[in-house]
Amino acid sequence: MKNQIIEQTKVYVRNELGEDATGHDWFHVDRVRRNALHICQEEKIGEPFIIEMAALLHDIPDEKLNESAEKGKEKLASFFQRITLPDEAKNHIIQIIESISYKGGRKTELKTVEAKIVQDADRLDAIGAIGIARAFAYGGKKGQLIYDPNIAIRAEMSLDEYRKGKSTSIHHFYEKLLKLKDLMNTEAARKMAESRQQMMVVFLEQFYQEWDEQEL
């Protein structure tokens, strides 16, 4: 029964996000799913079914990918009407999805180990080589510049500023991506984040070297 629900959910998410060009496509979701299950196995904690379902559905209601946050919630609720799941499981999955987003760095209390694991898996996909590629895909889709040295890095920002304020893809590294390694909840994710963090540091060093050469 659980396997059937997982397969049904995979098909639904593939259909909904398969063509997304912001870095929130099916391949992103599948990497988050696989990393979440890997962390679950490594840490020997959490309910795998809840973790897998939350990982699969985590971007469905995302306000970035919907007309509004409300429309996103309606979309997720509509999907839950198609599958047979106890209310307790549905509510747990929804609670995970609603609590794991970065939202400009404001700390949201994660109530369950499942939420911590899915958040770690999602954040792992935001860093490293894939994280770099996704950052520029999303920045381009939003119409952001690659870089402008005259724009200040924002240390603190409201959710509205985080979503809509003037920034660049390079600034996004400092405003979010480089902070994620130290925000991991599990030891397994912290270990996985090490090499990815180093990849971003090396990339930025090379980027600035080439940028400065451009201006000589």
Going by the DSSP 8-state scheme, the letter that residue 215 receives in this structure is T
What is the residue type of 52? E
Note the pLDDT of residue 164: 65
Longest pairwise C-alpha distance within the chain: 64
Strand partners, 145: 168
Helix ranges restricted to H, 44-186: 48-57, 69-80, 87-99, 113-124, 128-142, 159-164, 169-175
Note the pLDDT of residue 160: 65
State how far the Cα of 27 lies from the Cα of 179, in Å rounded to an integer.
Answer: 24
List the chain residues with pLDDT less than 70: 103-107, 156-165, 214-216
Closest CA to 10 of 188, 147, 2: 2
- In contact, 83 and 41? CB cutoff 8 Å: no
Note the pLDDT of residue 138: 94
Going by the DSSP 8-state scheme, the letter that residue 184 receives in this structure is -
Domain boundaries of the chain, sorted by first residue: 2-214
2-214 placed in CATH 3.90.580.10: no
State how far the Cα of 148 lies from the Cα of 129, in Å rounded to an integer.
Answer: 22
Note the pLDDT of residue 109: 78
pLDDT in tens, 75-100: 999 999 999 999 999 999 999 999 99
State how far the Cα of 72 lies from the Cα of 67, in Å rounded to an integer.
Answer: 8
Note the pLDDT of residue 18: 85
CA-based torsion, 132, 135, 139, 141: positive or negative: positive
SS3 for 145?
strand
The pair of three-digit structure tokens given for residue 53, joined into one six-digit string: 């379902």
Going by the DSSP 8-state scheme, the letter that residue 178 receives in this structure is G
Cα 166–chain centre separation: 21
